[in-house]
Structure formats: structure tokens, C-alpha cells
Amino acid sequence: MSNDQKRANDAFQVREDAAKQELALPLPAHASNGDEGRYPNRVASFSKGLAHDDLGHVVVASHDAMVAALASAVPADFEQIPLGGDRRFVNPQAGLAFELEGADSHALAIPPAPTFAGKRQAGEMVENYWMALCRDEHFESYGASANVAAAAADLAKLTEYQGPKTAPQLFRGKSPDDLKGPYVSQFLWLDVPFGALTVDQRMKTVVKELDYVLDHTTWVQVQNGRGQGNNEFDSEARYIRNGRDLGQWVHVDALYEAYFNACLILLGAGAPLDDNNPYAGSKTQDGFTTFGGPHILSLVTEVATRALKAVWFQKWFVHRRIRPEALGGLVDNHKNQRSSYDLHAELLGSSALEAVRASNEKRSHGAQKTSYLLPLAFPEGSPVHPSYGAGHATVAGACVTILKAWFKESTTMKSLPTRAGGKAGLGPVVASADGTTLGVYAGADSGELTVGGELNKIASNVAIGRNFAGVHWRSDYEASIELGEQIAISVLRDQKKTYNEPFKGFSLTKFNGQTILV
């Protein structure tokens, strides 16, 4: 046998072994929350972009046509779904695509979403109302804000609300790292060394105190999928300093952008690599194509498309969860006695409802005196695909897992030597109240901010930024970052088989705190 033929046979064997390993893994159950069957009028399920009546209830035949197309998987059937406006569904067939590396998109699962009438859904809706009301509050001023204090007091009463319940830590993510330091990850503030360029992370943001979809007629149009114009932009670029900025950042980002930037920051600072990197102790070689800069820069983006395929299957073919903006419209209908629904008492009894009614009246200059709609940060509202899981959160979980496998997670941010552009020290830093400058973060926990912790935080920032905009739920974030983590681990598992170097494996700390070796 020639060397070339042996190599071809070995290459086939690597692929076959990876495929067999994936095939041998147990298959998960794909269970929805049952709301689609529980409510024959489909009022508790995703329906944006379909035809709706004057109450904003989906036309059942339109919804049934969507479900039938998903069940048949025949491309032509998707073309027969009757839409309600000019916005088209976002890529449902992506959930049927296969993958040649890592787990198949159908081989992973997330838990059923909270139910429409349940306590957890009530808590998440109350949180979304308060997030909208606190969009313009500077993150670092949460502890001194009466508005945030009112939100914390209201959320603390909720039986199954899963987020932090004290004002300084409100709306943060679920890991211990999320509770340390500034709300915003250092990787969303620090300069990015981009080849010969240095990229300043001040962003083009939107004007304050401008929310959208505050009246019933507009809300119905948005549910039908009709466009509503464009945002209005601030004349000055600013660092992310509040929920409105964060929401706008995740409105227009390339889905792996935050993690690619984080990777460039870490490489530019010479951040220590994981102890298992096979070139860490080499006397004669450096990593490059394998275990070097080009490898990690491509790998951190490579998992993004696989993460999207996995979550698109969950969105369209399993859960079809209602969007927050749609539930806000049902709350508005209920409170204004246009219709009634089995909304949980913890939602209907929340002080957020009166606060949002007053805010909607103010923001509409008195035109909407009894609107309980969720104020949206985007004129068009949510994307035209179901809420659960969340694409941004799944990609965040996948990309951050790759970075945690690559770099030494315990490295403190203070110990990293230089910032992009030769500026002193990588941090920690914090944005000013107006977002125009960065200053030194001098909190008592400044020395506790680590590479791994700030990577966990950037994942939650990006995922929860979508909640600040009013288009996702807390459980969308919580379940989806772990789905992305599973995708990344499966890719690392397959890739480990391909290296010539002696390599123990990728070590990383999962979002649940467990340290593993892949």
C-alpha cells in the first residue's frame, strides 16, 4: 500500500470513528411545554409574521399551515404558508440541515420552556417589563436608582423568578462570575487589536427614552410582520453603559463578533494558554496552524454555524415559544378587557404593570393612557422566528466554551500586561455614566475578575442584551448557552482525533461550574 493510500485510509478512519462515537451517544427526548396543544386558538405559541385578527390573535389556519410545513419538511410547503405582512420567516429549514463535525443538530436538546400560565413565565414577563423600564439606567448606578429598587422589590416577590433579586445585581447572568465587577464584560469595552488596526469599542447607539410599539394597532401590525421604520441614533459614539446600548449592540452584531473580538484581545495581550497546550513546553516549536493563533481564531467562529443549526431545530421543530412582545399584547388585551386569558396572578398583580402603563403614556406624550404593552427597543420588534432557544445565546455558549478551552481561565485581568494600542494594563475598566470614556474599575473585587469569568459574563451580556430589547426571555438565555456549550464540546471531541501532537485534551469549566477534560 502506498503512503498516499495509507493516508487516505487513515483520514477515512478518523471520520468514521468520530461518526461512530456520535452515533453511540444516547438520543435525548425533545419535549415542548405543551402550550400549542393546550390552546387550540394557538394564542400561547409563536405566530409572528402570520395573519392575525384585530385582537392580535393568530388566524388558526395560517398557524396550521406553518406547523404542517414544519412536519412535512417539504421545501415547497414552506412557500405556501400565508403570511400577514412583508416580513418573511427566518430560515426554518436550517433546523433540518446536517453537520459534518460535532453533534448533529437533532442529537441535543433543551428542557421544555416555561408554560404560558405558569409562575416562571409570569416572573420572566415581569422581569422583561422592568428591563424595559430600566433601559436607560447606567449599570453602575443600579444601587442608587429608585427605579431599579422598585424593580428589585417587585421581582423579589415572585415565586419562581430565577434571576438576582438585589438592586446592584439586577438583570445579571446566572454564574457566580456574573456577580463580580461591572455589569459589562471587559471584552465589550477594551480596545481590539485587529491586525494593523486598533478598534475602539465605542458604538453607534440609539437615543435614550425612545421605545416602540406602544399602542394596540401598531402591535397588531407588528405581529402580522409589517415593518415599522428605523431607530433614531445618538450623534456620539459611546461605550456600552446601559440596557439600551446593550440591546442595540445585539441588534446589529455579527453573531460571533463579541467572541472573535475577545479572542483578539487575549491574543494581543499574550494571555496564557491552557496548560494542556502541547506547545507550552516545546523547546523547538510554536503552534500556528494547530494550537496557535490561526487555529483558535478560526475555531471560535467555526462553532457558530453549528450552534445556529442546533438551536434552529429547537426553535422551529420542537418549542415554537411565544415572544415577549406577543405576551405583552395579551396582557394589554386582558387589562383593557378586549379578551381574557389564564395569565398567572403573579403577573397580573405585579407593580410593573402600572409602571409600564405610566411609562407608555409618557413616551407616547399622553396618547396611550391605558397601554400595558411591553415597550420595545426595536421598531420592528422581535425577529420572525420563535423565541426558544435563543440564537445569540446558543452562539455565545458555543464560542465562549471554545475560548475557555483554549486560554487559561484562572488568569486575572489585572495580570494581563498590555492593552491594545500599547495603553497601560488590560483593566479592569468601567464605562463612564455618559459612555464617552473608560476609567479604572476600583471595586473591592477588581482583582477577582478572571479571563474565564469575563468570558462567562460576555456570554450572558450578549444573551441578556436581547432581553433588554424585549425580544427574549431569561430561560431562553439559561437553556441556550448550555446548548451552545454542548455543541462546542462535541466539536472539540471530534477535533481531538485529528492532531499529531501529544495532547491530553481540552480542559474547561462549564457554565454550571464543573471542570471537564475533552
Active site residues: 385, 392
* Locus of grid cell 430561560: 475
Asked if residue 114 has a cis previous peptide bond (ω within 30° of 0), the answer is no
98, burial (CB in 10 Å: exposed 0-12, middle 13-18, buried 19+): exposed
Report which DSSP code applies to 429: E
Distance CA 401, CA 470 (A): 26
Asked if residue 465 has a cis previous peptide bond (ω within 30° of 0), the answer is no
Distance CA 514, CA 291 (A): 24
Tell me phi and psi for residue 149, to 5 degrees.
-60, -40
Amino acid at 114: P
What's the grid cell of residue 464?
Answer: 441578556
Nearest to 44 by CA among 350, 320, 366: 320
What's the grid cell of residue 307?
Answer: 450552534
Amino acid at 158: L
Distance CA 31, CA 13 (A): 35
In order of 192, 193, 450, 459, the CA distances from 264 in angstroms are 6, 6, 16, 16
Contact by Cβ (8 Å): 159, 119: yes
Paired residues of 58 in beta bridges: 52
Distance CA 110, CA 216 (A): 33
* Locus of grid cell 446601559: 242
- Given CA atoms 363, 430, 437, 186 in this order, what sign does their dihedral have? negative
Nearest to 50 by CA among 93, 91, 79, 88: 88
Q: What string of DSSP letters covers 329-382?
A: HHHHHHHTTS------HHHHT-THHHHHHHHHHHHTTTS-TT--PPPBSSTT-S
In order of 130, 202, 212, 231, the CA distances from 379 in angstroms are 19, 23, 5, 6
What's the grid cell of residue 313?
Answer: 431545530
